[in-house]
Structure 1
Amino acid sequence: MIIDLSGKVALVTGSTEGIGFAIAKGLAEAGASVVINGRTSAKVDAAVARLGGSARGVASDLGSADGHDSLVAAVPRADIVVSNLGIFQPADFFDTDDATWDRHWQVNVMAAVRLARAYLPGMEANGWGRLLLLGSESAFNIPVEMIHYGVSKTADVALARGLAKRMAGTGVTVNSVLPGPTLSEGVAAMLEAEHARSGKSIGEVAADFVQAHRPSSILRRAASVEEVANMVVYLASPLASATTGAALRVDGGVIDTLM
Structure 2
Amino acid sequence: MHIDLAGKTALVTGSTQGIGAAIAAGLARSGARVAVNGRSAESVDSALDRLRAEVPDAEFLAAPGDVASDDGSRQVLDVVPQVDILVNNLGIFGSRPALEISDDEWRRYFEVNVLAAVRLTRACLGGMMERSWGRVQYIASDAAIVIPAEMIHYGMTKTSLLAVARGFAKVAAGSGVTVNSVLAGPTRTGGVEDFVYELVDSQLPWDEAQRVFMREHRPQSLLQRLIEPEEIASMVVYLSSLLASATTGAAIRVDGGYIDAIVP
Same fold at TM > 0.5: yes
**Matched residue, 1:218:** 222
Aligned to 1:85, which of 79, 85, 90? 90
Pairwise mapping of residues 82-161 of structure 1 onto structure 2 (< 5 A)? Answer: 82-161=87-166
Distance in structure 1 (CA, Å) of the matches to 2:207 and 2:81: 40
Q: Supply the AA of the counterpart residue of 1:145.
A: E
Amino acid at match of 1:174: V
Residues 160 and 176 in structure 1, CA contact (< 8 A), matched pair in contact too: yes
Distance in 2 of aligned mates of 1:138 and 1:236:
23
Identify the range of structure 1 (51-60 vs 30-39) with the bigger mean alpha-carbon deviation: 51-60
- Specify the code of the residue in structure 2 equivalent to 1:147: I
TM-score by length of 2: 0.94
Measured after TM superposition, the shift of residue 196 of structure 1 is 5.8
* Cα pair 1:131 1:173 within 8 Å, conserved: yes
Percent identity of the aligned residues? 51
What does residue range 109-258 of structure 1 map to in structure 2 within 5 Å?
Answer: 109-191=114-196, 197-198=203-204, 200=205, 202-258=206-262
Evaluate the alpha carbon distance shift between residue 209 and residue 128 of structure 1 in structure 2; reply closer, same or farther with a 3 A threshold: same
Q: TM-score, normalised by structure 1?
A: 0.96
SS at match of 1:51: helix
Give the Cα separation in 1 of the matches to 2:208 and 2:233.
Answer: 22
Query: Which residue of structure 2 lines up, in the alignment, with residue 45 of structure 1?
Result: 45
1:60 is displaced (CA, Å) by: 0.6
**Secondary structure of the equivalent of 2:37?**
strand
- Verify the 8 A CA contact 2:94 2:195 in the aligned structure 1: no
The residue aligned with 2:15 is 15
The letter of the residue matching 2:187 is T
Q: Does 1:26 align with 2:26?
A: yes
Structure 1 pair 195–227 and aligned structure 2 pair: CA distance change class (3 A): farther
Change in Cα spacing, 1:195 to 1:48, as seen in structure 2 (3 Å) is: farther
Bigger shift: 230-239 or 60-69?
A: 60-69
Aligned residues: 257
- Is the CA contact (8 Å cut-off) linking 1:8 and 1:33 kept in structure 2? yes
Q: Which deviates further from its counterpart, 224-233 or 66-75? A: 66-75
1:40 CA drift (Å): 1.1
User: Structure 1 regions of 5+ residues with no counterpart?
Assistant: none
Find the aligned partners of 1:233 and 1:206 in 2 and give their Cα distance.
27
In structure 2, how many angstroms separate the alpha carbons of the residues matched to 1:204 and 1:181? Answer: 16
**CA drift at 1:205:** 2.2
SS of the residue aligned with 2:253? strand
Deviation at 1:207, TM superposition (A): 3.1
- Distance of 1:190 and 1:135 partners within structure 2: 18
Contact 1:130 1:174 in 2 (8 A): yes
Root mean square deviation of aligned Cα: 1.3
The alignment partner of 1:222 has SS state of coil
Q: Measure the CA separation in 1 of the matches of 2:84 and 2:11.
A: 8
Correspondence for 2:76 among 71, 75, 78 = 71
- Measured in 1, the distance between the counterparts of 2:89 and 2:212 equals 26
Runs of 5+ consecutive residues of structure 2 not aligned to the other structure: 53-57
